[in-house]
Structure 1
Amino acid sequence: MKRPFILFFLILLFLHPVYAQSKKAGNAILSGKIIDSASHLPLEYATITIYTSASQLPFSGSTSDNAGLFTLNDIPAGNYRLMVESIGYNSFNIPTIEITKNSIIDLKNISLTKKSVSLQNITVVAHGRLVENKIDKMVYNAEKDITSQSGVATDILRKVPMVSVDVNGNVELSGSSGIRFLINGKPSSMFGSNIADVLQSIPASQIKSIEVITNPGARYDAQGLGGIINIILKKNTAHGTNSTISLASGSRTDNGSFNFNARKNDFGFHAYVSGNIRPYATTPYTSNRNSSDSIQHTSTLYQQDGSSRFRRQAIQTGLGFDWTVKEKNNYSGSVSYNQFGYTGNGTVFQHQKNWSADQSLLSDVNSLSNTSNFYKAHNIDAGFNYKRTFDKEDQELEVSITSSLNNSTSTAGNNQLLLPMDSLYYGINNRNPGKETETELEVNYTQPLQKEIQLGLGGKFSLLDISSQADIWSLVPNLKSYTRNKALSNNLDYHQKVYAFYSEIKLPVGSLFDAKMGARYERTEINSFYSNAQRQIPTPGYNTLVPSIYFSKKIGDRHTLKLSYSKRIERPDYGDLNPFINTADPKNITAGNPYLKPEIGNRYELGYALDLGSVGSFMANLFYRANNHDIQPYIMYYPVLVIGDSTFSNVSVSSRENIGMEKNTGLNLFGDIHYSNKFTFRSNLFFFHRHIINVLQPGFDAYSFNYRMNINLTYQFNTRWVGEFFGNFNSPRNEVQGRYPSFVTYSFAFRKQFWNKKGSLALTATNPFNEYVNQQTEVKGPNFSLNSNRKIPFRSFGVNFTWKFGKLEFKKEKDEIPGGINGPTD
């Protein structure tokens, strides 16, 4: 852990002499920052070219970095002119710049205006890239993806490089499910429940972009072993008013959204409402479990054959504002309300045979299980942010407070009958209300030390409170009535405080490369109470020191190399820690583990990006990640299990365990090729090797090779018609106890624009030639093996209608020359 800090201080020690020697004696340095004239955000990859006044041939040039900054070194004294260009923007000209010996000229902000063509009350601007590669993150511009617009957030995530999604909607980033999800850069307590359900409740038409950060910097929370996924919802910053309505209907999902934006002068307001419904779908299911009792010397075959029906619904609504006062003070705030839930029921035929050691049949029992479940959650997110800028460029102070409240209720029931007499012999009903509150106070400050060197400081305090009550009623067969089961019922109170402080510095190391280095310290304190834990063990507070290092090197105008390292932590959530024992299925019990330790991970990444200009782009990322105290699902088999005053036979118990250490080495390749102005080809290939060191069963380590690949084809038939195909394949996933199934999906989409491109109609089809996706799972553990198959309905057809209306004002700013005709002075 000390090595990254040794490297950090060595670089700082040698920084000043290296930086000072980058300039040749007598020659000048010219620098500046390229920004968008409307949003004032920095523009990356803008081309800066300088000419001598007497020549049409370029004398020197450069491109802007992710902060919009550029520097031209070693310019002899003389008269020059400067040209700035960026895709989708009007070029900017400074006709005369007089440069003297040993001068350092700062052009400050250079504003570029977007190229636009007015169509009545709508302005169409040039499109940027679908995928953008920044120094510390990758951005997927979801609003440019036509295939996913009739779906949900999960459908978009399937297309994002380095992200994989299984058929159940579970998300992994670079092979890890430990992901910190954010909405508009802020946490939400709704992700504290079932993340897969939440992601399938957000309409894709509501999402502007998705940011993926595999090695987060010191400013970000240390939570999230695989990294951070930030979902940015749509909001328009242009002046005037505009609205967008999007409606989608399909055989698998119906959703819709409405967005309203208004801005006048320095005040902006936005509001939205969206929702989706997934109608009932039936999933057939079969399983076979073979087990043995080493004490009684018996063996058992347990078979299940049935199906379940499932329905999901959700609604989100919110509003927000931003207000700039006297140019340097910006206030913004938002509040949102989210509600989502699901209902389901199922019927399963069960057959159990038991044999003695000499293969004599001891019992043969048939039974029928009827199940039902229900879940509903209400969530409120609120936040306020203050940002202060100063006369000194890039000096900023930001203070924010966010709060999130989530109330949820779940119920489940199971009645089991012996066949053929249909006599009720087992029944259980669960009700589990819960409440989760998360509050964060954060302060960030950025101080430029000198040109192109920035120091960042900040801190955060976060408070997480969870309360949950589980009430269980069990059938008393003789009385044919239900009584409260005190042994299984429980309640919990969980309180977590995290104090965090960080510091990071961004600077050029001479002309060698750009660096961004930092460290984050987090103090975690937990106070918890579990009513039915065998013993209450106080959780000691612990300290986490999280370093992060980024090196970036531009080679010419097109090549970029990146090397990064970060340390991450994955704290188990209350769903993992809650010792509630769910016996809704008495043969397959689930339980939490209050004694889980947090995972600690170290991740190294080497990245390469190639900008092919109008032809496209290419990215390659090589990574290595090692997780200690790795948390995974783990199944134990018990011939007989006593819980309270209840006895269960031939039962498996699934919980989460610190399995040991997991090592992953992988490669991600992404290509975006524009064969012509009509045809675009995109593909993402992801491969990784996994080695799991099993400390629960020494000698039973797991090795596996996993891969994922997708292909995306887009063809623009004319200015109004566009078609798209997307195909995805995930290889089988191997964990410590078994093999989880592969997954194939493909989709087609066609969209036509009309009403002067203010309206559009899209037709989509997903897996049109296959009604089901077969999910075959193989799991092995001490004294048992399990093979199961779920046939998940995945075929769907849909239609999406989008209408944009309102009046936007794009005011073209004057091309002002900073500092006058001769440029700025020292």
Structure 2
Amino acid sequence: MRHYVGRLLVKRFLASLFVLGWVASVPQVHAQTAPTLMGLVRDASGQPLEYATVTLHRAADSVAVKTEFCDAQGRFALPAALAGNYLISAALVGYNRVWSEPVTAIGQSQTLSPLVLQASAAATLHEVKVEARRPLYEREADRTIVNVEGSTLSAGATSLDVLGRAPGVTVDGADNLSLRGRQGLLVLIDGKRVPLSGTELADYLRALPAEQLASIELLSNPPAKFDAQGGAGIIAIRLKKDQRLGTNGTANISYGRGRYGKFTTGLALNHRRKNLNVFGNYTYTDRRNFLDLDFYRQFTSNDNAWLGSSEQFNRTTSHLQSHSWKAGLDYNLSDRTLLGVSVSGLLSEAPSFGDNQTFIYGETSDSRYRLTGQYRSTTDQMVQRPNLAGNLNLRHVFADSTNAPELTADLDVARYTTDRLLALTTVYELPDAPTSVLHGDQQNYVTIQSAKVDYSRLLPYRTRLETGAKVTYISSDNDAVFTNTVEEQTTLDTEKTNRFRYNENVNAAYISLQRATARTTTQLGLRAEQTNTLSRQSVGNERYEWHYFQLFPNLSVKRTLSEQHALALSLSRRLDRPSYGQLNPLRVYFDATSYQSGNPALRPQTSYDLELTHTFHEKYTSTLGYARTSNLIQNVVQPAPEGGRTVVNQFTNLGKLHFFSLTLTAPVEISRSWTMYNNLVLFYGRYLGSLAGTALDRGRPAFTFNTNQSFSFGRGWSADVTGLYQSREVAAFEVVRRRGQVTAGVQKSLWDKQATLRLNVSDVFYTTPIRSTSTYDNFRETFYNRFDSRVATLAFTYRFGGSKVTAARKRTVGADAELRRTGGF
């Protein structure tokens, strides 16, 4: 019997793969969204109720699947992603919530009986607010959602803090983000690409307060409508937006204390009427921090003879002050056309002071190993980052129906600026030498311009077509001037002074087809990108120019095997172009013998990704994945070209990476007041290549485990506890030791839920510090990194204005529409 059932399941899964061939054989290009459940919401007198909240629930456990709002005629349409049994609830301020009878989605659209809301008796006494708390983490077949807004753990935190606690996301000692153990991520904020990586990206996310975030989506295998950039996946950050009618707003203030203080405050205002919505927000952050870095380095010859070693102890304090803001408006040109414009900015200033003690050991003339060098250096830096972005968007629906064709267009321009002033003073104690001062004046400018258009429509045979095009231009100009001052004599340091310019143009187009039947949904996409890059640097008059055209296919097949089991298969090809920061050869110094630099000779890496996902009871998921990456871009630490005891941290191209992963997700409802979300990622990466005379062929099994416990105590009290553990892992030449953290928070709703008071403590046991070792044939470095991660924060949020909300689709802007149409928002 078991063999028969096994064969039957295999046959059903293989049958789903033939859908691809069926789509190709249809005379027209066909695709479709999932079946839709449609209906009306009315009051007891039969009048339609505008803006009623309608929610689709799984019948088995009442978990919310999708939420929509009624239009002016009380109509709603809810897509059912999978065939199965559902319940529908409707709610509106001043009325009692009503539930439908169980509904079975059968693979085609259905019109349901009207839902009739009865006026609430309490409404005659005071206003009633209907509010539900979304879980902190949600897992869908192709993505993980982190609901930041309203979380106890987001109070007073930065966006990087929230990301570092997200399931499957890790941040290494060089501030590189990884998803499921792989680097190479595309970061989007409200649909716009952030053209930064490594430390530059991390500093940007540190300056962006978590109070501004609504949610974060982690997509490991995104569809063809997204840029091909991001071999390991996409991190899509969505900022908060107020859906309430009239004039209203939110004010927040928080103070956290670790070794140093961290202060955040902000205000968001929104005015909405029938055809116009005007919005704006501002947040100020003042965060003091420390960074302790210890290095132990060993240098050997090619025949493994010991040449010397060094110990370095760096102590740095920094003070980040940032001003972030956004303003814009949406205007309905007609019932079917929406025009939006927005401008946003982020201005940060971060002075820092570092103190370094270095001890060098070597062989003396009498063949003894002893202290041969000792110096102390101080690093005084000022980093300013004024960034500005603007967006103009248009959305037009071609008919007054739920499945009408839709066109969206976006124009975006953004400018990222970094001004860095450096004074590195080195006092030599052994051997005695004159004090030297290295001054650096670095200016970096990045401008990104893009235009895109997307079109979607329903075709025959329950098929949906999506297509679009995008043009992007990126230009970067980086100028650095270094001078050396010794005994009051200042000279230009020609080895470090340089100017680097980079231009990138990407022309892209895509087409995507989606077709749904009662049990199977198939999506087939193809994206084409033509890339032109040109980089130039003044020193040596070096020039690199590349022109290439590539295709990026994407296939996903989802098959419902039974009421308990579903399978999903996805296959895609993706690309990682080096960012301007990875290419920029200009240097950022940590101390006299340690600096970070880009590599203008970097080439893009490409990867093929395969994932197979099994879903049990529509909530327990297991995903088996394999990825092969060629021309791997990897962050490495190695001796600098100038020799001596100087070490450089930079990205380089290695050979190949074979990456295997197994992701297990289990949301568990212990009781009505206690829910649990568990995420385990088991992975193994095999790195192949060579660098600095060292052959690379190594790998190691590793895992990350994330668990979140959410508690609701009634009377407005709730709490969250999140734990993260990352095992020992290998990343090319580097071995990173195990680490983790526990963060806990509690919150209380006040004044009829208009205010919230939160208290949280991050990294309770101070287990976040990072230890790693990089090993080559002639060099070895051990690295120990600590920072101000254990922080207790008290935060207060107050919402004022009306509580009546408008339909979400009336507040859609172009960039968000791109993500919403993929099922993300």
Q: TM-score range by the shorter chain?
A: 0.7 to 0.9
Contact 2:91/2:130, CA 8 A, preserved across alignment: no
State the distance in 1 between where 2:117 and 2:628 align. Answer: 46
What is the CA deviation profile of residues 763-785 of structure 1, one whole-angstrom value per residue up to 9, with x for unaligned ones? Answer: 11223454x74432211113121
Q: In the alignment, which residue of structure 2 is the partner of 1:667?
A: 662
Q: Within 5 A, what are the aligned runs for 1:727-738?
A: 727-738=723-734
Check 1:762–1:626 CA distance in 2 against 1; reply closer, same or farther (3 A cut): same
Q: Look up the SS of the partner of 1:316 in the other structure.
A: strand
SS at match of 1:148: coil
For 2:498 and 2:173, locate their aligned partners in 1 and report how far apart those are by CA, in whole Å. 33
> Are 2:5 and 1:10 aligned?
no
CA contact (8 A) 2:90 2:99 kept: no
CA–CA distance in structure 2, aligned partners of residues 779 and 357 of structure 1:
30
Aligned residues: 753
Matches within 5 A, 1:280-299: 280-281=289-290, 283-293=291-301, 299=307
Give the Cα–Cα distance (whole angstroms) in 1 for the partners of residues 608 and 528 of structure 2: 15
Q: Is the 8 A contact 2:359 2:371 kept in 1?
A: no
State the shift of 1:632 in Å.
Answer: 0.9
Amino acid at match of 1:267: L
1:709 paired to 2:712: no
- The corresponding residue for 1:775 is 770
> Is 2:532 the counterpart of 1:522?
no
Equivalent residue number for residue 428 of structure 2: 418
Q: Please state if 1:765 is matched with 2:761.
A: yes
Which of 493, 506, 511 pairs up with 1:503? 511
Q: For 1:318 and 1:255, locate their aligned partners in 2 and report how far apart those are by CA, in whole Å.
A: 16
Q: Offset at 1:679?
A: 1.4
Pick from 785, 788, 791 the counterpart of residue 790 of structure 1: 785
Task: Render the CA deviation track for 1:757-812: whole Å, top value 9, x for unaligned.
Answer: 21121111223454x74432211113121223233332211101011111132589
Q: How far apart are 1:460 and its partner, in Å?
A: 0.3
Q: CA RMSD in A?
A: 3.8
Please tell me the residue identity of whatever aligns with 2:436.
Answer: Y
- Is the counterpart of residue 142 in structure 1 residue 148 in structure 2? yes
2:387 alignment partner in structure 1? 379
Structure 1: 5+ residue stretches without partners: 1-5, 21-28, 49-62, 74-81, 96-103, 643-647, 814-826
Q: Answer whether contact 2:51 2:805 (CA < 8 A) is retained.
A: no
Structure 1: distance between partners of 2:723 and 2:497: 46
* Distance 1:675-1:361 versus aligned 2 partners, 3 A rule: closer
Aligned to 2:720: 724
Q: Decide whether the 8 Å contact of 1:470 with 1:580 is kept in 2.
A: yes
Residues 64 and 295 (structure 1 numbering): CA distance in 2 closer, same or farther, change over 3 Å?
closer
Q: CA deviation at 1:472?
A: 0.6
Distance 1:329 1:184 in 2: 20
1:356 Cα deviation (Å)?
6.3
Would you say the 8 A contact 1:44–1:64 is kept in 2? yes
Match of 1:55 in 2: none
Q: Name the SS of the counterpart of 1:526 in structure 2.
A: strand
Q: CA deviation at 1:572?
A: 0.5
Corresponding position of 2:594:
588
Partner of 1:255: 264
Matched, 1:210 2:216: yes
Q: 2:508 & 2:118 partners in 1: Cα distance?
A: 40
Partner Cα distance (2:580, 2:115) in 1: 49
Q: CA deviation at 1:701?
A: 0.8
Amino acid at match of 1:789: Y
2:483 maps to amino acid? W
Shift, 1:425, TM fit: 3.8
Matched, 1:631 2:641: no
**C-alpha separation in 2, matches of 1:35 and 1:191:** 48
Q: CA contact under 8 A between 1:277 and 1:313: conserved in structure 2?
A: yes
**1:321 correspondence with 2:321:** no
What is the Cα deviation at residue 560 of structure 1? 3.7
Deviation at 1:154, TM superposition (A): 2.3
Q: Tell me by how many angstroms 1:302 deviates.
A: 1.2
The aligned residue for residue 749 of structure 1 is: 745
CA contact (8 A) 2:190 2:238 kept: yes
What amino acid maps onto 1:520 in structure 2?
A: R
Q: CA 1:131/1:72 → structure 2, altered by over 3 Å: closer, same or farther?
A: closer
User: Which aligned pairs between 1:648-663 and structure 2 lie closer than 5 A?
Assistant: 649-663=644-658
| 1:700 corresponds to | 696
Displacement after TM superposition at 1:125 (Å):
2.5
Tell me, in whole angstroms, the C-alpha distance in 2 between the residues paired with 1:625 and 1:793: 35
Read off the aligned partner of 1:426 and give its amino acid letter.
S
Where 1:195 maps in the other structure, the secondary structure is helix
Residue 420 to residue 602, structure 1, CA distance change in 2 (3 Å): closer
C-alpha displacement at 1:426, in angstroms?
Answer: 3.2
1:507 positional shift: 0.5
The SS at the match of 2:582 is helix
Shift of 1:670: 2.0
Write the distance in 2 (CA, Å) between the matches of 1:143 and 1:126. Answer: 12
> 1:562–1:298: structure 2 CA closer, same or farther, 3 Å change rule?
closer
Output the amino acid matched with 2:325: T
Following superposition, the deviation at residue 492 of structure 1 comes to 1.6
- Once the two structures are TM-superposed, the CA of residue 468 in structure 1 deviates from its matched residue by 1.0
**Paired residue type of 2:438:** I
Q: Distance in 1 between matches of 2:113 and 2:535?
A: 52
How far did residue 742 of structure 1 move? 2.8
Q: CA deviation at 1:384?
A: 1.1
CA contact (8 A) 1:660 1:692 kept: yes
Give the aligned partner of residue 689 of structure 1: 684
Measured in 1, the distance between the counterparts of 2:315 and 2:659 equals 36
Q: Which range is displaced more, 323-332 or 165-174?
A: 165-174
Task: Sort the Cα spacing of 1:289 and 1:442 in 2 relative to 1 into closer, same or farther, 3 A.
Answer: same
Change (3 A) 1:811 1:110: farther
SS in 2 for 1:539: strand
| Most deviating of 108-117 and 195-204 | 108-117
Aligned mates of 1:431, 1:735 — CA distance in 2: 33
Unaligned runs of at least 5 residues, structure 2: 1-16, 42-48, 69-76, 103-107, 809-825
Distance 1:191 1:40 in 2: 43
TM-score by length of 2: 0.83
How far has the Cα of 1:456 moved from its partner?
Answer: 1.1
Q: CA deviation at 1:535?
A: 5.4
Any idea what SS the aligned residue of 1:145 has? coil
- How much does 1:636 deviate? 3.3
SS at match of 1:225: coil
Contact in 2 for aligned 1:161/1:670 (Cα 8 Å): no
Partner amino acid for 1:443? Answer: V
Q: CA shift at 1:541, angstroms?
A: 0.5
- For residues 585 and 83 of structure 1, what CA distance do their matches in structure 2 show? 61
Q: 1:107 to 1:238 in 2, by over 3 A?
A: same
- In structure 1, the residue matched to 2:815 is none
CA deviation digits over 1:6-62, x for unaligned, max 9? 988624245689x99xxxxxxxx99655799877999665669xxxxxxxxxxxxxx
Is 571-580 or 803-812 further displaced after alignment? 803-812
For residues 115 and 371 of structure 1, the distance between their equivalents in structure 2, rounded to whole angstroms, comes to: 67
In terms of mean alpha carbon deviation, does 715-724 or 752-761 score higher?
A: 715-724
Q: Is the 8 A contact 1:31 1:72 kept in 2?
A: no
Structure 2: distance between partners of 1:570 and 1:323: 37
- Asked whether the 8 Å contact 1:152–1:201 carries over to 2, the reply is yes
**Residue 234 (str. 1) matches residue 240 (str. 2):** yes
Listed as ranges, the matches of 1:470-489 within 5 Å are 470-475=480-485, 477=486, 479-489=487-497
Q: Aligned letter for 2:268?
A: N
Contact 2:519 2:561 in 1 (8 A): no
Deviates more, 1:772-781 or 1:657-666: 772-781
> Which whole-Å deviations, capped at 9, do the CAs of 1:64-92 have from their partners, x for residues lacking one?
9999335999xxxxxxxx99615979557
Map 1:178-197 → 2, pairs under 5 A: 178-189=184-195, 194-197=200-203
For residues 172-209 of structure 1, the C-alpha deviation after alignment (integer angstroms, 9 at most, x for no partner) is 11222211111111224567971111112222222111
TM-superposed deviation, 1:268: 1.6
Distance 1:389 1:436 in 2: 35
Q: C-alpha distance in 1, partners of 2:398/2:40? A: 17
Q: Distance in 2 between matches of 1:199 and 1:522?
A: 28
